[in-house]
Amino acid sequence: MSATPQLASRSFVLLTIGDRRFALPAESVSELVVPGSMQTFPHTTPLVTGVLFRRGRIVPVCDLAPVLVGRDAPPRRFYLIAQRRFGAQCEWNAIPVTGNCELINAEMSPPSEGAEAYVSGCIAANGESVGVLDIERVVAAYAAPSAVTIGGEAQP
């Protein structure tokens, strides 16, 4: 058992966006769903591409790919339903991902030197060091000026 809570083994969801792998703490993830019909309406929020209506709930779709892998990311095939925090409140968002996800137990270590600001830590997965995402920092990293969009900028 590790000496600090930070190094205790936890569950993470491994996800793929484009050709890169990332992780999210499992407690912040609800499910992986196949794309339904994303619906769009005019808005000005960057990265939000539309909403899903799922199980009586409206779930915004937040596409992180432009920040994580650039605008030419390959199509995303699934939505990972993950939690975003807005102050004391939380909200489920659908994160488009490229492929299947995997649940693993791992110890999280501090981010490596030079890691992107949105990486809150690293885990070892299949011999690879994978960055654990802080979704709010990913969204904050999107520095492009706000432009009106109807969504559909990135179709999973």
Chain positions contacting other proteins, by CB under 8 A: 11, 13, 26-31, 37, 39, 41-45, 48, 51, 53, 57-60, 62, 83-84, 86, 89-93, 103, 146, 148-150
Nearer to other proteins by C-beta: 115 or 153? 153
DSSP 101-129: -EEEEEE-BPPPTT--TTEEEEEEETTEE
> How many angstroms separate the CA atoms of 40 and 51, rounded?
6
- Shortest Cβ 130–other proteins spacing (Å): 17
- Is there a contact between 54 and 143 (Cβ–Cβ < 8 Å)? no
Q: How far is the CB of 117 from other proteins (least distance, A)?
A: 19
Encoded tokens for 40: 């769009």
CB closer to other proteins out of 39 and 112: 39
For other proteins, the closer CB: 112 or 144: 144
Minimal distance in Å, beta carbon 66 to other proteins? 15
Between 57 and 71, whose beta carbon lies closer to other proteins? Answer: 57
- Least Cβ distance, residue 148 to other proteins (angstroms): 3
Residues with Cβ < 8 Å from 126, sequence gap 6 or more?
none
- Whole-angstrom distance, CA of residue 138 vs CA of residue 47: 10
DSSP state of 148: -
